[in-house]
Structure 1
C-alpha cells in the first residue's frame, strides 16, 4: 500500500490520462520482441529528449510508450498502479517509494556530479549562507523524500544545524516555480529544469549537490510485474544499454543536446545549456559501491524521520538486467 507518496494526490484515472496508456497487462512469456511494448516512466521529458536526440532506439525490436510526469512521486504512483513499467529518479525518491511499498526493483544506476539539484534563494531573501536558513521556511519540490530534501538535510547537518531548525513545506515543481517567480517563496530546494528556471527568474544559488553533498546517483527501476514478464525483461535489458549509449552521446554532444531540449521542451536556450551540462552522463550496473553510498543516504533520512521504515538498498536491486 502506498503511504508517503500518496501526497502526490493523483487518482488512477488521472494517471492513465497523463500517460495516455496503461502498462501491457499480458504475462505471456512466449511473445516475440515485436509484440512487446515498454511503458517508460519519465520526468519533464528528460529521457524522451535524450533518446530522441541521440537516436538510441533505432533498430529496437520492441515498442516504447512514454509515461510523463513532473516529479518522482506521481511517477512511482503510476508504477504502483500499473500505468508505467519503469521509473526514473534520483536516489532518495526511489528509496521513499520502496519504503512506501511500491512494487519495483532498482535495475540500473545513473551518475552525475550532483549539480542538477540545488537550493535557490531570492536575492532579496537575506539568505547568504546555509546557516542563514535557521528559522526560515524552505519549500521542497516535489514531495517528501525528494533529492532536493536530501540536499537540504545534508547541508544543514554539515553546517551544525538540525532539520527541525527550518520549516519545510512540500510543493510540486510547477506550482513552486510560479510562487518563486512572483516572490511568494524565498527559499526553494529543487532540481533540474526548475532549478535552472528559478535562477533565470531572479534567484541565486545558495548551494548545489556537487562535491558529495548528494550522492550523484539516480536509479532506473522496473516494476515487479514487468520483471516477471520474460519478454519485457529482455526488452528492458536492451533499453538500459541503449540509454547508456544515449547518455554517452549527451556528454560528447552538449550543444546538440541543449538544442534538443529547446526544441522538445520549449526551454530557454540558456536554461537548456545549463541542463545539458548537468545531466546524468552514465548508466551503471548496481554495484556494492553504489549500494553503500545510497545506503548512507537512506540512513541519514531515516535518522531524521523522513524515511520510515528504512530501506535495505542492496536487497531492493535486481542486478540481472545490466552486468
Structure 2
C-alpha cells in the first residue's frame, strides 16, 4: 500500500477538518483547526510512541496527542470503555471480548502478521517438549480474553485436550512474568516485550507460535464518541497511516529497528533479532466483509469455549469510513 507524502496527507486532513468545522470546501484555516484537535491515545507498554520516535514519526503531527500507557490489552480496553482515551491498538481477541462486554467502540484499522508474535513458552530445561505434554500442567494465558488466552485455547484443541485437562492461571503480565520466573506455572501464553524479556533473560523456549491458530490481527479501535467528532476522525486517519509507516520503517530499516527494540526491551540484539520476523510481517489489511467475518469467528470461538455468551453481530462494530491512502 502506498503512503501519502506529507503535503498530500496534510491537505487531506485539512480538508476533512475544514468540511467538519465550516461545512464547506477546504480553506486556509483548515490546518489551524486540526491543530486544535487533541487525540487521546492508549499505548500498550509505551511501544507505539517509542517506535514512532525511533522512526521519526512524531515530528510533523498536525494535532496534539495525549499518550496513556497500559501494561496489557485488557487495561487499554478498560480505558476505552470508560472513555478515558479515544483510540488504542490491541489484538482482535481482547477487542472482541471488550465489545462483548459492552464497550462502545468500533474497529477502524487492521494490521496483520498472520499469527506471529504471540507464543506459548516454557522455562529453560522444561520437560514439556510437545503440546500434548501440557496435560495436567499449569498454564497462564495471561489475562482472560487476551490474544494469549485465545492461543492457549487453540493449542489445547490442537493437542486433543480441553480446559479441564489443565489448570489455567489468569494473571496480569507482571504477575505472570514473576510466576514464570519462580516456576509456579509450567507454561505461559505471552507476546511482545514480555516474550522478548523471557527468552532473553530467562532463556525460555517457545513451545508453539500463533500461526494457524491466531489471526495475527492487531486492530486499532476508536470510541463511538471520538468517531462522532470529524476533527478526531481526521486525526485517527493520520494516526492509522503512521502506524502503517512505522511498520514500513521496521521492514526497511532492520538494524535501526533492532537497536530501538533492544534498548526498549533492555535485551541484547541477538534476542531481538529472533523476534524481528514477527514485526516485519505486519501489513495493513482492508476493513471489509472478510475482516468482519474474521472478528465474528473470534467471538464464536470464545463462545464455544464458554468465555463469552449471547449473540453479537461483529459487522456492526466495524467502521468502514476511515479515510485511507
Measured against the shorter chain, the TM-score band is 0.7 to 0.9
Displacement of 1:197 in angstroms is 1.9
State the distance in 2 between where 1:186 and 1:199 align. 15
State the distance in 2 between where 1:274 and 1:101 align. 38
Does residue 1:287 correspond to 2:271, yes or no? no
Are the aligned partners of 1:88 and 1:221 in contact in 2 as well (CA < 8 Å)?
yes
TM-score (norm 1): 0.85
State the distance in 1 between where 2:48 and 2:310 align. 30
Range with greater deviation from structure 2 (46-55 or 309-318) = 309-318
In the alignment, which residue of structure 2 is the partner of 1:15?
Answer: none
Supply the RMSD in Å over aligned alpha carbons.
1.9
State the distance in 1 between where 2:199 and 2:90 align. 22
State the distance in 2 between where 1:208 and 1:306 align. 22
Displacement of 1:264 in angstroms is 4.0
State the distance in 1 between where 2:268 and 2:55 align. 20
Aligned residue for 1:65, secondary structure, equals strand
Distance 1:103 1:138, change over 3 A: same
Aligned residue for 1:306, secondary structure, equals coil
State the distance in 1 between where 2:271 and 2:44 align. 17
Tell me the alpha carbon deviations over residues 76-125 of structure 1, each in whole angstroms, 9 at most, x when there is no partner: 11112222111211110000100001111100011113221111112444
Aligned residue for 1:278, secondary structure, equals helix
- Say which one has the larger Rg: 2
TM-score (norm 2): 0.84
Displacement of 1:126 in angstroms is 2.1
In the alignment, which residue of structure 1 is the partner of 2:12?
Answer: none
Aligned residue for 1:277, secondary structure, equals helix
State the distance in 1 between where 2:138 and 2:185 align. 8
In the alignment, which residue of structure 2 is the partner of 1:172?
Answer: 172
Are the aligned partners of 2:121 and 2:190 in contact in 1 as well (CA < 8 Å)?
yes
Displacement of 1:247 in angstroms is 1.1
Are the aligned partners of 1:115 and 1:208 in contact in 2 as well (CA < 8 Å)?
yes
In the alignment, which residue of structure 1 is the partner of 2:257?
Answer: 257
Q: Which runs of 5+ in 2 are unaligned?
A: 1-19, 22-31
Tell me the alpha carbon deviations over residues 28-83 of structure 1, each in whole angstroms, 9 at most, x when there is no partner: x6381010111111111221122112222443210112110110011111112222
State the distance in 2 between where 1:106 and 1:92 align. 12
Displacement of 1:185 in angstroms is 2.2
Does residue 1:218 correspond to 2:218, yes or no? yes
Q: Which runs of 5+ in 1 are unaligned?
A: 1-28
In the alignment, which residue of structure 2 is the partner of 1:93?
Answer: 94
